[in-house]
Amino acid sequence: MHLEKVDTVGVVGAGTMGNGIAQVAATAGYNVVMRDMTDELVAAGFEEIQSSFETLVARDTVTEQEAEAATARITGTTEMDDLADADLVVEAVTEDMDIKQSVFEDLDAVCGPDTVLASNTSTLSITTIASVTERPEQVLGLHFMNPVPVMKGVELVVGEKTSDETVTLGREFAHDIGKETWEADDKPGFVVNRVLMPWINEGVRAYDEGVADKADIDRGLTLGTNVPMGPLELADHIGLDVVLDASETLYEELGDRYKPAYLLKRKVAAGDLGKKSGQGFYDYD
């Protein structure tokens, strides 16, 4: 049963994070409006949702009937106005402050006065994003982990003006869709990326400097620290461009300890972005 205060969830962005958020919200019984810039992007989002459900059905995590019912609860659109009746909107667009602020300006104008606006940002300031709205107390960070249908965590990020009621709603919504949460202040990188990005970059440097080959670096970290993936495999999974963007944001805010590894920058420049491009530190073709 979904929250009494939330019936319809809007999602801005039908990419990997956006369609994953749409999928888990619809699976939990919410009506979802998933918006992106073009019909092609919206269709691609639905294709990813279908593929994800096929995997979950094969694993007996959901039934075919549950997957079909959840998919039917998702409406795709290219119109921002179609989010007007949403009770909660989660933005999941490119990790760029100007783009996010533009989205929030549009949402603030379109959505009703009680609508809560959330950003899936992994590093950018919620306070700065909220500053372009007339409702900063109703803006928070809901940072989902990738892949959204599988990962259990959601990071709640509290901006300077975020109200206690908004944090409570965000937490209850996350719990209702089967996630566990932790709370972070609005400081660069929050909890996860503030710790994760230096870890990944040091793994890349260790490989670049010949400390060990990539397989042994990843094997050493998985066996030595009991994490499910080593730094190079995880970077490929996240997307090397995403890791680089996050690292550069933290480097600008926090200094040298977050400086991106040279090999990471070279890989991104070459178009080797990880699993999504077929080639990163490992070959996925």
- Confirm or deny that 276 is annotated as ligand binding: yes
- Confirm or deny that 259 is annotated as ligand binding: no
Token code pair at residue 130: 């909220």
End-to-end Cα spacing for the chain: 42
Closest CA to 13 of 92, 98, 118: 92
Distance, CA of 133 to CA of 274 (rounded, Å): 36
Task: Return the number of other C-beta atoms located less than 10 Å from residue 212's C-beta.
Answer: 14
Closest CA to 144 of 172, 160, 120: 120
Q: Taking the CA atoms of 208, 234, 244 and 50 in sequence, report the sign of the dihedral they define.
A: positive
User: Is 31 tagged catalytic?
Assistant: no
Tokens 């995880």: give the residue.
Answer: 234
Catalytic residue (one of 120, 125, 193, 247): 193
Strand, coil or helix: 160: coil
User: Is 122 tagged catalytic?
Assistant: yes
Catalytic residue (one of 120, 122, 125, 277): 122
Taking CA atoms, 114 is separated from 6, 90, 108, 263, in Å, by 11, 14, 10, 46
User: Is 155 tagged catalytic?
Assistant: yes
- Confirm or deny that 14 is annotated as ligand binding: yes
- Confirm or deny that 146 is annotated as ligand binding: yes
- Confirm or deny that 36 is annotated as ligand binding: yes
Catalytic residue (one of 31, 143, 233, 247): 143
CB 88 within 8 A of CB 169: yes
- Confirm or deny that 17 is annotated as ligand binding: yes
- Confirm or deny that 13 is annotated as ligand binding: yes
Q: Which residues contact 66 (CB under 8 A, 6 or more apart)?
A: 27
Catalytic residue (one of 48, 91, 155, 233): 155
Q: Are strands 180-185 and 153-158 parallel, antiparallel or unpaired?
A: parallel
Token code pair at residue 182: 């932790």
Binding residues: 13-18, 36, 95, 100, 122, 146, 276
Which residue ranges make up the annotated binding site for NAD(+)? 13-18, 36, 95, 100, 122, 146, 276
Annotated catalytic residues are: 122, 143, 155, 193
